[in-house]
Amino acid sequence: MPTVRIKICGVTSPADAVAAAELGADAVGLNFYPDSPRFVTPDTAKEIVAALPPFVAAVGVFVDMPEDAVRSIASRVGLRAVQTYSSEPPKRPYFPAAFIPAFRVKDAASLDAVRQFVDAAKPAAVLLDSFVDGQAGGTGHVAPWGLLAGFAPGVPVILAGGLTPENVGDAIRAVKPWAVDVASGVESSPGHKDRGKVAAFVRAARAAAAELAESPANPS
């Protein structure tokens, strides 16, 4: 595990997006779910994407939105990937945007559902979040790391759910994900990122990934 990718999700302004990129984030998440406190309109999202430096990806977050509406926003805004909370695979690919379905993990049956979805849809990656009844994500609750340790659905795993600068290192060492995703854990208030917390999160994630890369089980 030579590195870990970092997504700062729920970004609501160009300034926060640029700060996240400058501090080492690989991607920012833009939330198009109207019930979220981190909701952004397509017009605002387009301004955020335009402000990003090269090689920092913009990922759209969608909850039960019709596929054609997701495609329209992705094209208009310039999204590199779409992250969807939906129980059904899309009827056709979201290409050129990468497809990242998100799952709220409660128990072993949840992981079986992830495997079945991956087999059916062949996504670019999967995001695994904590399960909180009635909420799609961004809850601040920690995902079940013990259950997720060693889980290999056949595509890269993005770990979300209650991550903070204080626990992301332990999460990476336990689950060994391809990427980590944080929203509330680096905020001063919902939708407003704290530069110091973002910096601390990136440092902790990079340090944990480097530690794993240097361990005997992962010779460089």
Tokens of residue 91, six digits: 């009827």
Residues 6+ apart with CB under 8 A from 67: 90, 91, 92, 94
**How far is the CA of 57 from the CAs of 85, 195, 212, 217, in angstroms?**
19, 19, 25, 31
- Indicate the DSSP class of residue 143: P
The crossing angle, in degrees rounded to 10, of helices 14-22 and 42-51 is 30
**26 classed as catalytic:** no
Residues 6+ apart with CB under 8 A from 85: 61, 62, 63, 64, 101, 102, 104, 136, 137
Are the C-beta atoms of residues 59 and 25 closer than 8 Å to each other? no
Rounded Cα–Cα distance for residues 198 and 164 (Å): 9
Rounded Cα–Cα distance for residues 143 and 122 (Å): 23
Tokens 């991607």 -> residue: 27
Rounded Cα–Cα distance for residues 150 and 20 (Å): 29
Residue 23 CA from chain centroid, whole number: 17
Catalytic residue from among 9, 16, 26, 181: 9
Catalytic residue from among 16, 26, 129, 181: 129
Just list the catalytic residues. 9, 129
